[in-house]
Structure 1
Amino acid sequence: MSGSSKYPEQFRKDAVELARSSDRPLRQVARELGVNHETLRNWVRTADRAETASPGSVSTSEQEELRALRKRVAELELEKEILRKAAAYFALVRE
């Protein structure tokens, strides 16, 4: 759930739990809490997505970092291969 809301995080969590556990329609729960029903619906959807995300999933920033690290590893492997060939070449030339 977003931290840029005018509603405190705990209020949003409690509202989601109330909406899930209540027999009343979401609109009625939202009205009783004094929030827009679409706002409450979005909170519930966000919470559902967070709960269904696999524990091994990575965030967008982590995906970007992983992509950059993989690129760097590829560069280093290429450099290592070039140095290995150069070392082999100079070993033959010295003989």
Structure 2
Amino acid sequence: MPGPRTYPDGPRERAGREVRTTGRPIAHVAKDLGIHKEALRGWVRQAEADAGERDDRLTTAEREELRQLCRQKTELRRANEILKAASALFAAELDRPRTRPTR
């Protein structure tokens, strides 16, 4: 799980927009804003992916959908294991010979 965000969304968007609109190098913009250049590079790449300009990264919506699907898969696997255990228990119960109560 990723760590907490150290930069709020507003400055992230403004910094990325400045790089894209001015054409200045990421390292220069990052230095001016006091942001680590690799963090800014990642934000710019993600913004480009979200805008459909990059095909090598998932968009934010696709990432969220993937996370949700992975969570669902985990829940379904857990439920499947529970059902397997329950069916084994019921099968064992059905296979046990029944005895008549004595009077």
Q: If the TM-score is normalised by the length of the shorter chain, which range does it land in?
A: 0.5 to 0.7
Higher helix content, 1 or 2 = 1
Q: Read off the aligned partner of 2:13 and give its amino acid letter.
A: K
Q: Secondary structure at the match of 1:24?
A: coil
Q: Read off the aligned partner of 1:79 and give its amino acid letter.
A: A
**What residue number does 2:17 align with?**
17
TM-score, L = length of structure 1: 0.53
**What residue number does 2:65 align with?**
56
Mapped to 2, the partners of 1:3 and 1:85 lie a distance apart of 49
TM-score, L = length of structure 2: 0.50
Q: Read off the aligned partner of 2:16 and give its amino acid letter.
A: V
Unaligned runs of 5+ in 1: none
Unaligned runs of 5+ in 2: 50-56
1:11 offset after TM fit, Å? 0.6
RMSD over equivalenced CA pairs, Å: 3.9
Q: Secondary structure at the match of 1:80?
A: helix
Please say if residues 3 and 9 of structure 1, whose CA atoms lie closer than 8 Å, have aligned partners that are also in contact.
no
Mapped to 2, the partners of 1:21 and 1:36 lie a distance apart of 19
Q: Which runs of 4+ in 1 moved over 6 A?
A: none
